[in-house]
Structure 1
Amino acid sequence: MATDFGGEHLPRARLRQGQQLGEATEKAEARNYSCELTCPLVQKRRSNLYVFCSGDLAVALKDDLQAEVKAIFKDQWATGQGTAVPHEDSVTLGNDAVQLNATVLYADLSESTGLVDNYRPVFAAEVYKAFLRCSAKIIRNFGGTITAYDGDRVMAVYIGDYKNTNAAKTALKINWACKYLIQPALKAQYPNSTYVLNHTVGIDTSALHVAQAGIRGARDLVWIGRAANWAAKLCALDHSHPTWITKAVYDSLANESKIAADGRNMWESMTWNKMNNASIYRSNFWWPL
């Protein structure tokens, strides 16, 4: 088998004698190729990446990582109380963090694997874009701050006295947008399509510890706390009731996000068996834009 490195083909055997630059032997291994290199340092370009066959470089990387990991566990934390949703420049890559009480909302496109596997890429992309565009605009319109997109879902954070009410209202309006805005537009453009858009929104509230992770040039905020974790997990529940919230959120809702115009409670109490029988609530109500 030959391996393509930007146009050059390296056989799975010893490199030609003319390529030998020294007596030391280094081995470069990867999943789909194996090649003995009889040189202390050989560089082969592949896109913007290099394969370095050098023990010295590996040692240097190991030393750097050991020092950095040691510092992460040893250094003291500088933690401040947040009054606004943090952004990338709010905290450094060191042991720097912001604490705040916040509500986290995840809006997730259900069954996206089936969408990608069974429909044309451009159709799947249109569904993704329509769902995320509507979700994002509704989030912003009701006081949420978008903190991340992750494939087919969006994460948002709400703070303030009405953070839970605003997050719940957002979810009910996203449900309306999916049913009465996106689906009719999709059907009008593709009248023969049988695709039905389903989604889930998960919401929880708690104290959060916000830090920054990654490396320079490739970093992002990490949201440590129950709300971020549980809101994401709630999105895996049954989309027949598209909105799922925790008891902590429900108990803080204003009546406008709890009781429908006809007097019915919009939320049904459930027990979350997989999470130590936690009390949660679900809703299939929607709120028109």
Structure 2
Amino acid sequence: MSDLERDILNRLSTLLNHPWEVRDGRVVPDSKTVYDKQAVKLDATYLYADMAGSTELAQSIDAEVAARVMRVYLDMAVRVIRYNEGDIRSFDGDRVMGIFVGWDKESRAAKAALGIEYWRGFLDYLLPTRLAEVKAIGWELKHGVGIDTGEALLVRAGIRGNDDLISIGRAPNIAAKLSGLREGYSLYATDDAYYGMDTETSYEDDEYNQPRWTWLGERDFGGRKVTVYGSNYGWEC
């Protein structure tokens, strides 16, 4: 048996057999506050912002220019999420995850999504004026943002020095799936997230009180049917 095989099998036995020390969380933890055998139960709203067309972009222009575009989008999304009191806990290529907790978590997540859509439109206009390569290929900055809310379990994954927190539960999973939808809308939210929003984030502030979100019906994610709302509204927030 090789050293690697022995190491993996020993660790497998440890991870599968040890009991979790589960505690309720009121704030979003980081990897420094969650130990190897601990799990934090969190009632939270998850937001995933996913830049679309990054593969096409990377194959069409110089990698350094494509990297600038991706970095600008992610930097903007992070700033909007933090401005609305969300915590950043994960990056995955051209996608970022924000976590919101508190009594108004759905409203702040929705406000962040509307803000990201507003600034995406601004960047889509600005980037071709600053980057000739982007203008030359006629590329447009598009994205998908998904929101779901509910209970999740946060645990550490990996090994010391190469570990991070992962979120397990319906809310983070569905939010990630929603960010990948491309059905004519930029923003998607489950009915649980939608009904948790305040009127400021779910309706326009005008005399007609028009909804910002459109009911899209049910979608199937891994055998589970979820009612989804979509939006293309941008809000400078």
State the match for 1:285 in structure 2: 233
Alpha-carbon distance in structure 2 between the residues aligned to 1:124 and 1:102 = 33
User: In the TM superposition, what are the counterparts of 1:136-147 in structure 2 within 5 Å?
Assistant: 136-147=78-89
Alpha-carbon distance in structure 2 between the residues aligned to 1:260 and 1:120 = 41
Residue 159 of structure 1, aligned match among 76, 96, 101? 101
Larger radius of gyration: 1
Structure 1, 149-158 or 275-284: larger mean CA deviation: 275-284
Equivalent residue letter for 1:185: L
State the match for 1:253 in structure 2: 197
State the match for 1:131 in structure 2: 73
CA contact (8 A) 2:146 2:178 kept: yes
Residue 202 of structure 1, aligned match among 129, 135, 146? 146
Alpha-carbon distance in structure 2 between the residues aligned to 1:71 and 1:240 = 47
The Cα shift of 1:64 comes to: 2.8
The structure with the largest helix share of the pair is 2
Deviations 1:209-230 (A, max 9, x none): 1100111111011101111100
State the match for 1:71 in structure 2: 14
Alpha-carbon distance in structure 2 between the residues aligned to 1:273 and 1:244 = 11
CA contact (8 A) 1:199 1:242 kept: yes
The alignment status of 1:185 with 2:126, answered yes or no, reads yes
Equivalent residue letter for 1:278: V
Going from structure 1 to structure 2, the CA distance change for 1:61 and 1:277 (only over 3 Å counts) comes to: closer
The alignment status of 1:264 with 2:210, answered yes or no, reads yes
The Cα shift of 1:140 comes to: 0.3
Alpha-carbon distance in structure 2 between the residues aligned to 1:64 and 1:199 = 41
Any gaps of 5 or more consecutive residues in structure 2? none
The Cα shift of 1:76 comes to: 1.5
State the match for 1:171 in structure 2: 113
Alpha-carbon distance in structure 1 between the residues aligned to 2:225 and 2:160 = 41
TM-score normalised to structure 1 length? 0.76
State the match for 2:178 in structure 1: 234
User: In the TM superposition, what are the counterparts of 1:33-48 in structure 2 within 5 Å?
Assistant: none
Any gaps of 5 or more consecutive residues in structure 1? 1-54
TM-score normalised to structure 2 length? 0.92
Equivalent residue letter for 1:268: T
The Cα shift of 1:88 comes to: 0.8
The Cα shift of 1:273 comes to: 3.2
Structure 1, 70-79 or 168-177: larger mean CA deviation: 70-79
State the match for 1:111 in structure 2: 53
The Cα shift of 1:61 comes to: 2.9
Figure out how many residues of one structure are paired with residues of the other and give that number: 230
The Cα shift of 1:277 comes to: 3.6
Equivalent residue letter for 1:173: G
The Cα shift of 1:240 comes to: 3.0
State the match for 2:30 in structure 1: 87
Extract structure 1 runs of 4+ deviating beyond 6 A: none
The Cα shift of 1:242 comes to: 0.7
Going from structure 1 to structure 2, the CA distance change for 1:277 and 1:98 (only over 3 Å counts) comes to: closer
What SS does the aligned partner of 1:261 have? Answer: coil
The Cα shift of 1:68 comes to: 1.8
Tell me how large the CA RMSD over aligned residues is: 1.4
CA contact (8 A) 2:219 2:228 kept: no
CA contact (8 A) 2:219 2:227 kept: no
Q: Which has the higher contact order (CA 8 A, sep 6+)?
A: 2
